[in-house]
A and B are shown apart, each in its own frame.
Chain A
Amino acid sequence: MAAPRACRLRGIRLVLPAALLLAGGGWLWPGAAKQPPGIPAGITADIRVGYGGYVVPDVWIPVVLRLRSDREIAGWVEVVTARLRPPGQERVQVPVHLLPGVPLRVTVPAVVHDPRAPLAVRLLEKEVVTAQWQADVLPGRLADAVVLGLTARPVGLQQLLDPGGRVRVAYVGEDELPARWQLYEGVSAVVIRDLADHRLVPAQVEALAGWVASGGRLFVASSLQELAAHPSLRPFLAAPVQPPPFPGAPETVYAWGRGRVTVLPFDPFRADLPPEEGAAWVRLLRAPAPQAFVETRSLLAILPDRPGTSRWLQGAVVLVLALYLGLLRTILRWLLGGKAGRLLAAALLLGMTAVMATLNLAARRAAFSFVQGAVALGLPERQAAVVESVGRVILPRRGTFSLHAGAEVLVRSLGAAETSLLLDQVVRFEGTAHVLPVHAVALLPLAVRGSYREGPEGVEVQIENRSGRRLSNPVVFQGGRIQSVPPPEPEVRVVLSPLRWRDPPADGGRDLRSRLWAWAFDRLRSDAILSQTVHLVAWLDDDRGLLRWPTAAPLLLVLPLSRVEGVP
């Protein structure tokens, strides 16, 4: 086995054993896995789990497969990860079309919950497993986070990290940068020294920018002139410049959404880094990354634990039952009243049955749906928003719940369940648990932006909404207080009165929308300790939103407003 590999492969499917014994083990890439015994001849796979071989548990990581087949195969590749507590499996499927003799590179997002449980990688054809491999995660390759180093000479960064720590450096090439921003979840920083733009696809550029905007840290070791020469990095230069985080730190820092792009005036990969620069660099790397605005657990905590039958439905059922019991005397009397009376009694019984059946349908429709809270954190620089949604799936009596996921959405279960995620298609949850917490995240286009400037008359706010979605009940949050503003249709410019600021609601009450509303201000107040950014908070119509859930869900928009200098 080659040194940097994270996974060891062995075949577990016994198909054409004689042919495989003859085929033996083959090597597809340098340092790639041995051709496992037990798979059909003519199909090979190289499997790389994680970032440069390092695996960060419990976050989305890339599983990169390089497949090759002697015949044409149109099917699916699935990666199955298991966990012990709570027990369950997660299955992510990606469509593949293999042409004879042409290697195909596929990246499958996966979450490794239990490093002791190997990953199963399967190639399916017409829903039949054609080949299957197993990838073990070696204990020495586990990490708390990974620093991605994009350089032509993969040495130099690891000397700066605490050897006893669990943050590892993974040197990657351009083609190894994730094309889904969620796959940066286990990455604490990206350091770029050598970048060949032509080797990046637009999705990788988008993913990098989206990750930085959602709170990622990007370090670029080059001059500003060199930076401007890179088309994929040039947009960062248009972002507002921030003061250095500490004295002696690099002075060129751009604020990109919640994240930062720092231009390093030195080469951090150098072995002979001067002590001052080395110290500053270590301090930069060890600085905590911006806290995610949406804390999954805190958002989940505001949802009702067990939605159950709604109160109005329970009330309606009790009312109808009471009415039925009250009408019993009349029914019994009608039965004595000849043929007409018996017909009336039968009609009443039939009507009551119809009412109950209607209530039954209403209860079922509500019961199998999803109670969710979704927050869209606007990233005006990208004309996009990171939408995070947590909720609880009510598994119906057959134990399976399916829903359609929009493009770019990754969904995972936070409880015990078998989860099947067919990328861009269907998410299916199967399990014995009755209520299953789930988490979905996506980066969606959202053309909403706003700015503010402070003048002698107060704060002037300008908001522009070109998203095609309606914003309702917008308020501006500044310094722990809020003030309502008119909805932008599509633009609004208003000077906020110093007399109309009020405290945001502290307690959300029982209604989910109110609780989500209060939760957002609570998070903004916590954020305000670190940053004095002014925010717009509003409800966002989400009929074309993140996931096509059976029921509508409140979607809250939190949009940082950019500061504009000068007099209004």
Chain B
Amino acid sequence: MTLNPVTRGDLRSRLVSPKILWMVRVYLAVLGVFALASLPPESGRLAGMAPGQVLRVGLVLQLAAVVYLTSALAAGEIGVEGEKQILDLAVTSFNPRTIALGKLWTSALTAGGLVAAAVPLWALVAPPEAEAAFALGRAMVVMVPVALSLAAVGPWLTAAIPSDLARTVVHWSMLLALFLATRWLAEPLVAINPMRLLGAAHLGAPLWPLALLPYAAVVGAGVTLATRTVARVRRAGVP
């Protein structure tokens, strides 16, 4: 199995980028401080917070970080030296679908890498029981599709909104909509709220994977939009 050429190029750029290195270090350092403060019995010192709640707050913090970093990289809000956006790739000989899927793979591997990098930190604070490890695994797995849903729209945003400022505003609006606006949805739609979804996966609530379906739909829409944008650029010269 060969890696998508677009993904391969993006990963090469990201893996050697000092900016990405420091970004991951800051991300892990913040989570590390949190993990250190969550060590028993330290966790009980946080007023009004039980040790289990500290772990959940940490997971929400990680979810927010993974979603933001993955989508910001995909939307070009965090620029990486040498990484090509889809407008640059539109003039290459790659198939538009290859380009769109390649960008999606890049985001998926980035989100997966960020989640995997934090595994040692959660090993430091997770209760030493098999059930707790499974619960933590479920919660971490959820982070990837949630992050991917916003990141899938990112490549299209880079082509559709040329202004960096406007794109950043749209990106943050999407983030806020995802995390906050979905809280006001009626039951059972509110289950798609990332924090609710994370909690449901962590607790092993029944049917929690169903809440991932809207995210899959957004990913599909993002890939379609990116594919059509590349095709339109090739055909008309403008996105």
Residues of A participating in the B interface, judged by any CB pair closer than 8 Å: 306-309, 313-314, 317-318, 321, 324-325, 328-329, 332-333, 335-336, 349, 352-357, 359-361, 363-364, 367-368, 394-397, 434-435
B41 and A329 contacting across the interface, CB-CB below 8 Å: no
Is there an interface contact between A397 and B50, defined as CB atoms closer than 8 Å?
yes
What are some 12 contacts across the A-B interface (CB < 8 A)?
Answer: A306-B45, A325-B25, A328-B24, A333-B15, A349-B119, A356-B120, A357-B123, A357-B128, A359-B124, A361-B128, A367-B39, A397-B52
Residues of chain B contacted by A357 (CB below 8 angstroms): 123-124, 126, 128
Chain A residue nearest to B32 (CB atoms) is A321
Instruction: Tell yes or no: B12 within 8 A of A by CB.
Output: yes
Set of chain B residues within 8 Å of A396, measured between Cβ atoms: 40
Q: How far is the CA of A493 from the CA of B56 in the complex (A)?
A: 64
Is A309 a contact of B32 with CB atoms below 8 Å?
A: no
Interchain CB contact under 8 A, A328 and B28: yes
* B11-52 interface code vs A (CB 8 A; 1 in, 0 out): 110011000110011001100100010011111110000111
Given known contacts A325-B29, A328-B25, is B15 in contact with A397 (CB within 8 Å)?
A: no
Knowing A309-B39, A324-B28 touch, does A360 contact B44 (C-beta < 8 A)?
A: no
Q: Is chain A's interface secondary structure helix, strand, loop, or mixed overall?
A: helix
Q: Min CB distance, B99 to chain A, in Å?
A: 22
Q: Bound state CA distance, A336 and B45, in angstroms?
A: 43
Question: Complex: how many Å from CA A17 to CA B44?
Answer: 46
CB-based contact B124/A307 at 8 Å: no
B41 close to A307 (CB less than 8 A)? yes
B121 CB–A CB distance under 8 Å: yes
Q: Is the CB of A324 within 8 A of B39?
A: no
CA distance A396 to B73 in the complex (A): 41
Q: Which of A349, A360, A394 contacts B41 (CB 8 A)?
A: A394
Are B40 and A367 in contact (CB-based, < 8 A)? yes
What residues of chain B lie closer than 8 Å to A355, measured between beta carbons? Answer: 120
Chain B positions 156-186 with a Cβ under 8 Å from a chain A Cβ: none
Contact in complex: A349, B32 (CB < 8 Å): no
Q: Is the CB of B116 within 8 A of A363?
A: no
CA distance A444 to B77 in the complex (A): 72
Partner of B15, one of A308, A309, A336, A354: A336
With A325-B28, A328-B21: A336-B16 Cβ-Cβ less than 8 Å: yes
* Complex CA–CA separation, A419 to B15 (angstroms): 56
Chain A neighbourhood of B87, CB < 8 A: none
- The residue in chain A whose Cβ has the minimal distance to the Cβ of B43 is A397
Q: A354-B123, A364-B128 are in contact. List 4 more A-B contacts (CB 8 A).
A: A309-B41, A328-B24, A332-B21, A352-B120
**Is there an interface contact between B36 and A360, defined as CB atoms closer than 8 Å?**
no
Give the contacts of B49-77 with A (CB-CB under 8 A). 50-52
B147 → chain A closest CB, angstroms: 19
Residues of A within 8 A of B192 (CB): none
The minimal Cβ–Cβ distance linking A533 to chain B, given in whole angstroms, is 41
B211 at the binding interface (Cβ < 8 Å): no
The answer to the question of B125 belonging to the interface, with a C-beta cut-off of 8 Å to chain A, is yes
Nearest chain B CB to A104 CB, angstrom units: 43
Evaluate whether A360 and B125 lie within 8 angstroms (CB atoms) in the complex, with A328-B28, A336-B15, A336-B16 already known: yes
Known contacts A328-B28, A336-B12, A336-B16, A353 near B41 by CB under 8 Å: no
Partner of A397, one of B21, B28, B40, B124: B40
Contact with A along B107-142 (1 / 0, CB 8 A): 000000000110111011111100000000000000
Q: A434 contacts B128, CB within 8 Å?
A: no
A351 CB → nearest B CB, Å: 9
Please give, as numbers and ranges, the residues of chain B lying within 8 Å of A364 by CB-CB distance.
Answer: 40, 128
- Do the beta carbons of A317 and B28 come within 8 Å of each other? no
On whether A360 and B123 interact (CB within 8 A), knowing A317-B36, A328-B21, A397-B52, the answer reads: yes
A565 to B126, CA, bound (A): 66
- The residue on B at minimum CB distance from A432 is B50
Query: A residues within 8 A CB of B116?
Result: 349
Which of chain B's residues have a CB closer than 8 A to the CB of A336?
11-12, 15-16
**A-B pairs with the 4 shortest C-beta distances?**
A434-B44, A367-B40, A356-B124, A356-B123
State the Cβ distance, B123 to closest chain A Cβ, in Å: 4
User: Would you call A308 and B36 a contact (CB within 8 A)?
Assistant: no
| A352 nearest CB across to chain B (Å) | 4
CB pair B15–A314 under 8 Å, yes or no, is no
Determine the distance from Cα of A321 to Cα of B125 in the docked complex, in whole angstroms.
13
CA distance A335 to B20 in the complex (A): 14
Residue in contact with B126 in the complex, picked from A314, A328, A329, A360, CB distance below 8 Å: A360
B51 A360 Cβ-Cβ under 8 A: no
Task: Return B160 CB to nearest CB of chain A, in Å.
Answer: 31
Instruction: Name B128's closest neighbour in chain A (CB-CB).
Output: A361
A309 and B42 contact, CB distance less than 8 A: yes
Bound Cα distance from A328 to B20, whole angstroms? 11
A434 to B48, CA, bound (A): 11
Closest to B53 in A: A397
Q: How far is the CA of A338 from the CA of B72 in the complex (A)?
A: 27
Do residues B124 and A434 form an inter-chain contact, with CB atoms below 8 A? Answer: no
Contacts A325-B28, A434-B44; is A353 near B21 (CB within 8 Å)? no
Q: In the complex, how many angstroms separate the beta carbon of A561 from the nearest chain B beta carbon? A: 42
* Given A329-B21, A360-B128, A397-B52, residue A308 in contact with residue B41 (CB < 8 A): yes
Q: Which residue of A lies closest to B28 (CB)?
A: A325
- Chain B residues, CB < 8 A from A325: 25, 28-29, 32
Which of B21, B41, B120 is close to A367, meaning CB atoms less than 8 Å apart? Answer: B41
Taking A314-B36, A352-B120, A356-B123 as contacts, is the C-beta distance between A308 and B28 under 8 angstroms?
A: no
Using A318-B36, A321-B32, A324-B120 as known contacts, say yes or no to A335 and B126 having CB atoms under 8 A apart.
Answer: no
